[in-house]
Amino acid sequence: MPKLFECATDETAQKARVNRRALMQLALGGMASGFVGHKAFAQAPSLAFASSSVDKMPPINGVYDWRALPPTPLALEAESGGLPVDTGMVPAQGKAQLYYASAGEGVPVMLLHDGLANSNYMGDLARALLRARCRVIVMDMRGHGRSTMGALPLGYDLLADDVLTVMAFLHLRRVALVGWGDGAVQALDVGMRHPSSVSRIFAFAPWSTPDGLLSRAGDIPAYKSFMERSRQEYRQLSSTPHRFGDMEAAVQAMRSRQPNWTDADIMRVTAPLWVAAADHDGIVGRVQAEHMAAMVEGAGLLVLPNTSHFAFLQNPQLFTLAVESFLGGR
């Protein structure tokens, strides 16, 4: 993969020249035509496979079929390329305890995972950004992974406040946020309510109102596999391994009523923004992503070809290159 940038300082990040041709070559290498740019997107053709066991198909050149659910990456604390990793628990509102892991030096980038998952899912992206000389922070959403739920009901404002809580604990004034699913909504919430705390936002698969989530998600084989895996991972990581059902119910209740952003809310995001979507997501509709990108001045819209809601696992080269391209751009 071509080296796009080093985020050792804010200055180098701003002065970097991004190799977007490499991004396009990776997209085209995924057997689809895609376009990345300012408020632009393209549909990619579907792939047809004779096998009915796509979920078990091995990757080709590191790229999985969009219907597959690749393995969960190693946690950042388990593999950091030899760099020291600081981990801990941060007290938060409602007597919650928030797990974080931090490694590297340079411009801080915080990675936020989707609901029902955990920060391990961001492990490979974290390691790629460490190689680019970023400081990388991952955290488990409250009630997920190693973090405890606390006494307050889940809500995106609360989750955004949790980001600020971890930042304050780590003495970080400003971070770039990369979010997936609920983590993307969480990142945008921070951008709307605490704009001075955010340098950039890469939001993959966000939504702005509850109807942005598709009702057929439960019928998608990869999502069914994800739910089974989530239960197992919760039992392995959580201090309350028997309460996965409570956590799942809290997430579903939050999603059923939040967010409810108006155009005026979305336009409060002032940080540089890319909204990314997968052409075969199946869980989050693309219409709201397109609309959010259109509402924010200077925002870009990226559609990742031949990927689903798990794009960063299915085509990690393409996803990482997109994130690095965004972080290293003007």
Give me the long-range contacts of 289-297 (CB less than 8 A, separation at least 24). 289/203, 289/205, 289/206, 289/207, 290/41, 291/208, 291/266, 292/188, 292/203, 292/206, 292/208, 292/266, 293/39, 294/39, 295/263, 295/266, 295/267, 296/266, 296/267, 296/269, 297/267
How high does pLDDT run on average in the chain? Answer: 88
- At residue 90 the predicted structure's pLDDT band, cuts being 50, 70 and 90, is very high
Evaluate whether 131 touches 124 at the Cβ level (below 8 Å): no
> What 3-state DSSP class applies to 100?
strand
Our measurement of the distance from residue 211's CA atom to the centroid of its chain's CA atoms, rounded to an integer in Å, reads 20
- CA–CA separation, 292 vs 192, rounded Å? 12
Q: For the sheet containing 85-92, what is the strand order? A: 36-37, 300-304, 273-278, 198-204, 175-180, 108-112, 135-139, 96-103, 85-92
Contact present, 111 and 298 (Cβ < 8 Å): no
Q: How many CB atoms lie within 10 A of CB 256?
A: 9
Kindly tell me if the per-residue pLDDT of 18 is higher than 50.
no
Q: What is the pLDDT of residues 209-251, one digit of tens each?
A: 999 999 888 789 999 999 999 999 999 999 999 999 999 999 9
Q: How much is the pLDDT for 47?
A: 27
Those residues with Cβ within 8 angstroms of residue 278's Cβ, 6 or more apart along the chain or in another chain: 66, 204, 205, 303, 304, 307, 308, 309, 311
* DSSP 8-state secondary structure symbol assigned to residue 284: B
Alpha-carbon distance values, 267 to 92, 157, 205, 246 (Å): 28, 17, 18, 34
Angle 316-327/123-131 helices, nearest 10 degrees? 50
pLDDT above 60 (res 14):
no
Q: What confidence score (pLDDT) does residue 4 get?
A: 52
315 SS3 class: coil
pLDDT, tens only, 94-122 = 999 999 999 999 999 999 999 999 999 99
Is the pLDDT reported for residue 3 higher than 50?
yes
Q: How many CB atoms lie within 10 A of CB 55?
A: 16
Q: Which of 247, 234, 245 is nearest to 150 (CA)?
A: 247
Q: Is the dihedral of CA 63, 64, 67, 68 positive or negative?
A: negative
Helix segments in 267-315, DSSP class H: 287-295, 311-314
Task: Look at the pTM and tell me if it is higher than 0.85.
Answer: yes
To which residue do tokens 């950042």 refer? 76
CATH class of 75-100+111-286+308-330: alpha beta
Residue appearing with tokens 């977007």? 20
pLDDT at 25 over 80: no
173 or 9, higher pLDDT: 173
